[in-house]
């Protein structure tokens, strides 16, 4: 996200994985990013452990754009950008779908050749296993969305977006049995790039 003298909004996710410093290439990508879409930083304590910078229209490499449309066709793009994090260095595409009066969400992370590194899709609340919903709710009282997470071969985890009633949002990661693996706090913040 480009900010010369003005401040812009960024999404910060307080993550539970190790690492230090900004990823190589992030500052340049953030400086070239559209101003209306927030950059994302993942922090552990005082260390940056992941980052994502949005890309403007046409910013995805052609193999990624083609693969994304085949994997998550249609919908409304809510984020499209370069990501550095736990699943590797790649391109993240997130889409929202409205159908039958409801809303669903899909996300895919791909390498530059269009190979899937990680993907998620939301699951209707009525179909979320009770143990997943119950454990996610230990982090708050408002279960907003549950997603199943897959790597290149199989389903690996659940993610739940939970509001705690104090105006804070948490991203809770659970294993397939419902054990909490991590809880990340999502924070809206301002970032200035000079």
The residue ranges of every structural domain in the chain are 55-184
**pTM flag (> 0.85):** no
Describe the chain by its helix, strand, coil percentages, rounded to 5: 15, 50, 35
- pLDDT by position in tens, the chain (length 194): 233 222 233 333 333 333 447 888 888 888 888 888 888 887 766 777 788 999 977 899 999 999 999 999 999 999 999 999 888 899 999 999 998 778 999 999 999 999 999 999 999 999 999 999 999 999 999 999 999 999 989 999 999 999 998 998 989 999 999 999 988 888 776 667 66
**Hey, how many other C-beta atoms are within 10 angstroms of the C-beta on 58?**
8
Return the CATH number of 55-184, one of 3.10.20.30, 3.10.450.360, 3.30.56.10, 3.30.565.10: 3.10.450.360
């Amino acid at each position: 996200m480009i900010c010369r003298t003005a401040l812009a909004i960024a999404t910060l996710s307080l993550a539970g994985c190790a690492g230090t410093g900004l990823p190589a290439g992030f500052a340049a990508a953030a400086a070239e990013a559209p101003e209306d879409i927030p950059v994302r930083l993942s922090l552990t304590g005082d260390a940056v452990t992941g980052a994502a910078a949005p890309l403007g229209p046409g910013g995805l490499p052609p193999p990624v754009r083609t693969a994304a449309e085949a994997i998550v066709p249609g919908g409304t793009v809510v984020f499209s950008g370069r990501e550095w994090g736990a699943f590797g260095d790649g391109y993240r595409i997130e889409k929202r779908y409205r159908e039958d009066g409801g809303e669903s969400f899909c996300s895919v992370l791909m390498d530059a050749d269009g190979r899937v590194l990680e993907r998620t899709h939301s699951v209707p609340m009525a179909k979320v296993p009770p143990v997943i919903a119950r454990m996610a709710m230990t982090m708050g009282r408002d279960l907003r969305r549950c997603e199943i997470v897959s790597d290149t071969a199989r389903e690996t985890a659940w993610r739940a977006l939970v509001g705690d009633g104090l105006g804070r949002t948490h991203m809770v990661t659970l294993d397939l049995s419902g054990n909490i693996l991590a809880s990340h706090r999502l924070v809206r913040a301002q970032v200035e790039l000079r």
